[in-house]
Amino acid sequence: MLDTQDTPGAEAWAAPMTTARLILADGTEIAGYGVGATGYAVGEVCFNTAMTGYQEILTDPSYAGQIVTFTFPHIGNVGTNDDDIETVNMAARSGVLGCVLRAPITEPSNYRATRHLDRWLAARGIIGITGIDTRALTGRIREHGMPNAVIVHDRSGQFDYGKLKSELSAWPGLEGMDLTREVTGGQTFVWDETIWDWPTQSYGRQAEPRYHVVAVDFGIKRTILRLLANEGCRVTVVPATATAEEILAHEPDGVFLSNGPGDPAATGEFALPAIKTLVEQDVPVFGICLGHQLLGLALGGRTAKMHQGHHGANHPVKDHTTGKVEITSMNHGFAVDPTSLPAEVEQTHVSLFDGSNCGIRLKDRPVFSVQYHPEASPGPQDSHYLFKRFVNLIRERKGEPTEPERA
């Protein structure tokens, strides 16, 4: 068991007894104080280095099957609200199974807050543990990789270790696991909400769309849809299992392949035929995150599990098409192997942290994708230009003049 007694300030938050545990697959047991939902969940532990946007992270469907360790210590200090939720399919669970926090959750101090994070976590069924040396846990993940673990919260402080460890050993891990069916919506619907307007303190509506985009929902985020609508698009959202025929029946000007959780190779077993057909039809295609990985597979490449993944809002990426470096928001544990890509596929973006692939495009078709989250939720807005790049491909196909990517 890791000892937190020597952690600076731990004595200031000491409680009569600990009420939560994080048990790693190697048997390491970490004690802390439970917040949010009670019960237990088994998943993969990753760490996120973002300093802001914890609510967007906790509602990102791409985190299905994972327990998020926040490296920033003060999580919950601005509370929660109903505007910063990224989940589109409200019938599905949040995505995140649990969260690991350094400091106890304080009372919220923000004019937009409507609910304390503790109560919000409980309402969404997310188990949390506080009082953890998150620097030590992050260092462990960096050295040994993302471990499988069980997180448990019981107010009595009593735990059935035999059952917990049995459940943990039985969990197969994310490799080979398709999780998109857990987070995708079951119905087709139209989206017209645009980005946040600060003067009115509300989201806008796209009343006069010029283009029609079909978005394939592998676990799509609301901000992605808002930015597509903001670029003049009427967006029709279809389930992850939609066939190429069903997508093309909507007569789209372009197709968007969304982010999502799990192993892209597993999701590709049903998704690749549709993507290959769309590429062959010469329809403009834009993919993000899982959508990027699936496009890479459809074009003949391979994907692989990463050692520690990329999760945060401070990842530098170079766009080789412009020569510029942007700071990006990332959340992925799998990556496209650039050495596996055929000659007709160009690598457009590269991580400046580790050189991993962050973007591709077809040389002879209006098809491209990026590994990171250009919608910047959470994160800097350096990459918003990619939505303009996508719509410019639609304009070119229609014979219309394009617009500058960056304002």
The answer to whether the CB of 338 falls within 8 A of the CB of 369 is no
Helix, strand, coil fractions of the chain, as percent rounded to 5:
25, 30, 45
Catalytic residue flag (residue 373): yes
Please state, in angstroms and rounded to a whole number, the distance separating the CA atoms of residues 118 and 218: 28
- Give the closest residue to 127 by CA, choosing from 118, 136, 138, 135: 118
Please state, in angstroms and rounded to a whole number, the distance separating the CA atoms of residues 82 and 96: 17
The catalytic position among 231, 289, 310, 349 is 289
Q: Are strands 20-24 and 98-100 parallel, antiparallel or unpaired?
A: unpaired
The catalytic position among 153, 310, 373, 384 is 373
Residue 136 to residues 96, 115, 132, 332: CA-CA distances in angstroms? 21, 30, 9, 22
Catalytic residue flag (residue 208): no
Please state, in angstroms and rounded to a whole number, the distance separating the CA atoms of residues 55 and 73: 15
Please state, in angstroms and rounded to a whole number, the distance separating the CA atoms of residues 281 and 203: 34
- Angle made by CA atoms 18, 23, 24, in degrees to the nearest 5: 150
Helix (H, G, I), strand (E, B) or coil at 298: helix
How many CA within 13 A on the CB side of residue 137? Answer: 39
Helix (H, G, I), strand (E, B) or coil at 128: strand
The answer to whether the CB of 367 falls within 8 A of the CB of 397 is no
Cis peptide leading into residue 378 (ω within 30°) = yes
Tokens describing residue 317: 């990426």
- Give the closest residue to 342 by CA, choosing from 364, 310, 370, 318: 364
Please state, in angstroms and rounded to a whole number, the distance separating the CA atoms of residues 88 and 218: 11
User: Would you tell me the crossing angle of helices 385-397 and 222-230 to the nearest 10 degrees?
Assistant: 50
Q: Which residues pair with 172 in a beta bridge?
A: none
Please state, in angstroms and rounded to a whole number, the distance separating the CA atoms of residues 233 and 225: 9
Catalytic residue flag (residue 375): yes
The catalytic position among 292, 315, 375, 384 is 375
Residues tagged active-site = 289, 373, 375
